[in-house]
Chain A
């Protein structure tokens, strides 16, 4: 069966520090991968999606970037975190022709 792993679960970082959140999917190949952010009391905002290795689409301009170095690995990064980057980050995947999303357990990022 397919599983999605996301880590770390919680992260506290100072302003200006770098960020790297990792997400991996097991049990499937060539998934579509997504990064969402959920700010406190707000819905989910799609940040990035990827349909294949090295193919990244950004939905909103921001301080973050994403990379997909391997088929089932999706990384969210920043060179210098801002206070506004705080939030709950969710990785998700789906398969072509199957429209439902499967989510990781999320990373709570606090930038202080």
Chain B
């Protein structure tokens, strides 16, 4: 069965500092991998998606993620965090199993210090 683990419930970084949010997945083959962002009281917005090709994926808002098959990881990074990046970030795994199903991790809440 597919599963997604985000080991950090919350992370605090200073504005301008670099960011890395961890994500590990469990799946028999290479799944589709996603990062979504959720601002308070809002729905989720897709940051980036990976399925095949270059293992370093560029997304919106200056985010990128790197797929590492050997570690079953898909960590999200940003070189310089802005205060507006404070939000909840969800890693997700998806696969075609009689329709496309997406399984989400528990999320990591990002706090940004001025």
Contacts and interface: CB of A to CB of B under 8 A. Distances in A.
Given A43-B107, A46-B102, A49-B99, A101 B42 contact: no
Most buried by A among B43, B90, B99, B103: B43
Interface residues of B, number: 24
Interface stretch (A13-21, A61-69, A78-86, A102-110): A102-110
Q: Is the interface of A mostly helix, strand, loop or mixed?
A: strand
Contacts of A90: 43-44
Contacts of A104: 43
Report whether over half of chain B's contact residues are helix, strand or loop; otherwise say mixed: strand
Contacts of B103: 46
A57 B90 CA distance: 24
Contacts, number: 55
Contact of A44 (B42, B46, B99, B104): B104
Contacts of B36: 101
Query: Size band of the A side of the interface?
Result: 20 to 34
A49 B101 contact: yes
B28 interface: no
A30 to B, nearest CB: 13
Given A49-B99, A51-B99, A105 B42 contact: yes
Interface in B73-114: 90, 94, 99-107
A43 B104 contact: yes
Given A43-B90, A43-B106, A32 B43 contact: no
Residue among A99, A105, A106 with the highest chain B CB neighbour number at 10 A? A99
B43 A103 contact: yes
Given A32-B99, A46-B101, A99 B106 contact: no
A54 to B, nearest CB: 15
B100 A99 contact: yes
Interface in A9-46: 32, 36, 41-44, 46
Contacts of A51: 99
Contact of A106 (B32, B41, B49, B106): B41
A100 B94 CA distance: 9
